[in-house]
Structure 1
Amino acid sequence: MKDKRVIRQVLTIYLVCFVARIFEYFVLRTDQTILGEAFIHKLFGIIVICLVVKRSGKTLSDIGFVKNGYIRSAVKGLALGLSMFAIGYFVEILILMQNRTYAGIRFYVSAYAVDTNIAKQTSVLFILICIIGNFINVLMEEGLFRGLFPRMLNSRRFWKVTGICSLLFGFWHIVGPVRNYIDGQSSFQGMIANAIMLIVSSTLVGLKLAMITYMEGNLYMGMADHFVNNTIVNLLHIESSTGADEMMFLRITVAQTISFLIVLFIFLGRKNHGKKGIINKTISE
């Protein structure tokens, strides 16, 4: 009975945040404005996280925002993300050079999309907006999917809980493809293909970030790696004679696949990875 009650609580919180996400994507559409980021529902999600944690009588430290070790963990996350994407960019450039279509790397702000970019800005203001927006994004998503939910569901059952949270994280990303279809920017088949692709890839990323969080005992390494994944595709672009970032998904796939395998190998190789106090705490209302 208790497990079912907690699952209902998790799903309720998820749906509240998901409705806010739908409202921003379909009504406010802040990512299609000069701001270029859908951040309002993320701020709302952060408020929800804080309220749930406060109501439970716990603190943010109990869900992974611990007060010690954040610099070390964040540096490790940045190093992981940057090194993996260096490989991804290298592979993409090699393919374009082989096809004799490579035109160079460009630095500018764009809105993320699987199939295209929809903005090119180089001013400091837009770069700051991009960085701040992505920081808010990882703060909310890691706080919710790798922090609050696992603690509510009882993180002692790692693979079961991680599977549930990662699937929720995967379905979190279907809003974009659905909006593209409704707006007439993709076909129904394209929507289904993109939705499946995003669900699968985001679920695997969620599994990787959960393993990182479990081993680190905090959210900061996962946040930093997640931040690199989101920010670098917004800022660093590969152009060819036929367009820009046409092979972005390949770049991301290469980086995330290698990253996932490395983290999984380290995770499975550790015999005593359950020492951190955070992973033994549970939060429920």
Structure 2
Amino acid sequence: MMNGKRKPLSAVLKIYLICYTFRAIECFILRTDQTIFGEAFVHKLAGIFILFAGIKLFEFKAKEIGFDKDKTIQYIAKGLAFGAVTFILAYSAEVLMLALQGKFTGLALYVSAYAVDGNIGHRTAPVFFAFCMIGNIINVVMEEGIFRGLFPRLLEQRYTCIISAVIASSLFGLWHIMAPIRNYCDGTMSLEGLIANSVMLAVTTCLIGFKFAMITKLTGNLYMAMGDHFFNNTIVNIFHVISITGADELMVLRISIAQSISFIAVLLWCFVVQHKKCSGL
């Protein structure tokens, strides 16, 4: 325990490697995301266990890493609302672009599985919506708890909050390149596609992770970031834009617009809070 607090980066990397090992096993061997569940949830359940084992090992309280019981529902609701606003703008932009090109045909509600190059699957039974919701709840508890809770709490014992957030967000970016690696190993993606998609995913999710880190610092808990994260993941799996060339043709653009708006909004929020502090307001 004391060694982890003296060498926080080493402790973080060891925990990350354990989590990544579970992720690789599920991605390459269990492949639960390709089953009826449509979600890779086993390694995330393992990650939740590792998260709370880490809290106990390093003698933290749940509140210290962001699981504060005060105003839980309120902050989750704010996160959901924040995500909804940004994606309403993003979906509107996407529909407008397709409409101007004469390609837009409608909107559809069904469950799909997210893929780098588009959404796959077309499931409408209620059980699949339940799988999607439960899977995304498990996902946000694990990822926010680990990457915006435990890791920064450890790292900030030696580094500034900015450096800690950058390290945790960089690891979060690398966390998301497993899918293109598997696609390449399965022979469904070229080496050029692997490199391009890995870089795109790593950079994009690193920035998204940094946004969640800023939200966590601004609110003092994990719940608003969890609400926003949940909405971001869920909406692209269940709400689809249909064009004459297929579904979700401009999904990557939609996500980019939503996350850009979201990132800028949180950055402005940070500047306003910092200005108030400097002004003594």
TM-score (norm 1): 0.93
1:67–1:114: structure 2 CA closer, same or farther, 3 Å change rule? Answer: same
Task: Name which of 152, 155, 159 aligns with 1:153.
Answer: 155
Q: Give the distance between the partners of 1:55 and 1:45, measured in 2 at CA.
A: 15
Q: Give the distance between the partners of 2:118 and 2:269, measured in 1 at CA.
A: 34
Q: Deviations over 1:25-56 (max 9, x none)?
A: 00000000000000000000000011111122
Maintained 8 Å contact 1:115/1:246 = no
What is the one-letter code of the residue matched to 2:27?
A: Y
What is the aligned partner in structure 1 of residue 174 from structure 2?
Answer: 171
Q: Give the distance between the partners of 1:3 and 1:56, measured in 2 at CA.
A: 7
SS at match of 2:120: coil
What is the one-letter code of the residue matched to 2:175?
A: W
Q: 1:116: how far off?
A: 2.2
What is the aligned partner in structure 2 of residue 180 from structure 1?
Answer: 183
1:2–1:182: structure 2 CA closer, same or farther, 3 Å change rule? Answer: closer
RMSD over aligned Cα atoms: 1.6
Q: 1:187: how far off?
A: 1.0
Q: Does 1:43 align with 2:45?
A: yes
Alignment of 1:51-130 (within 5 A): 51-130=53-132
Q: Deviations over 1:104-137 (max 9, x none)?
A: 1100000011212221111111100000000000
Q: 1:3: how far off?
A: 7.5
Q: Give the distance between the partners of 1:179 and 1:98, measured in 2 at CA.
A: 37
Maintained 8 Å contact 1:114/1:248 = no
What is the aligned partner in structure 1 of residue 238 from structure 2?
Answer: 235
Q: Deviations over 1:83-122 (max 9, x none)?
A: 0000110111111111111111100000011212221111
Q: Deviations over 1:39-82 (max 9, x none)?
A: 00000000001111112222222211111111111111011100
What is the one-letter code of the residue matched to 2:244?
A: S
What is the aligned partner in structure 2 of residue 219 from structure 1?
Answer: 222
Q: Does 1:270 align with 2:281?
A: no
SS at match of 1:36: coil
What is the one-letter code of the residue matched to 1:183?
A: D
What is the aligned partner in structure 2 of residue 32 from structure 1?
Answer: 34
Identity %: 49
Structure 1: runs of 5 or more not aligned: 275-285
Q: Give the distance between the partners of 1:96 and 1:186, measured in 2 at CA.
A: 27
Q: Which moved more, 1:265-274 or 1:111-120?
A: 265-274
Alignment of 1:5-24 (within 5 A): 5-24=7-26
Q: Which moved more, 1:160-169 or 1:58-67?
A: 58-67
Q: 1:152: how far off?
A: 0.5
Q: 1:189: how far off?
A: 0.5
Q: Does 1:200 align with 2:203?
A: yes
Q: Give the distance between the partners of 1:273 and 1:161, measured in 2 at CA.
A: 24
Q: 1:196: how far off?
A: 0.5
What is the aligned partner in structure 2 of residue 189 from structure 1?
Answer: 192
1:232–1:273: structure 2 CA closer, same or farther, 3 Å change rule? Answer: farther
Structure 2: runs of 5 or more not aligned: none
What is the one-letter code of the residue matched to 2:198?
A: A
Maintained 8 Å contact 1:208/1:263 = yes
Q: Give the distance between the partners of 1:232 and 1:91, measured in 2 at CA.
A: 16
SS at match of 2:114: coil
How many equivalent pairs are there?
Answer: 274
Q: Give the distance between the partners of 1:131 and 1:150, measured in 2 at CA.
A: 27
Maintained 8 Å contact 1:215/1:273 = no
Q: 1:231: how far off?
A: 0.3
Maintained 8 Å contact 2:109/2:238 = yes
TM-score (norm 2): 0.94
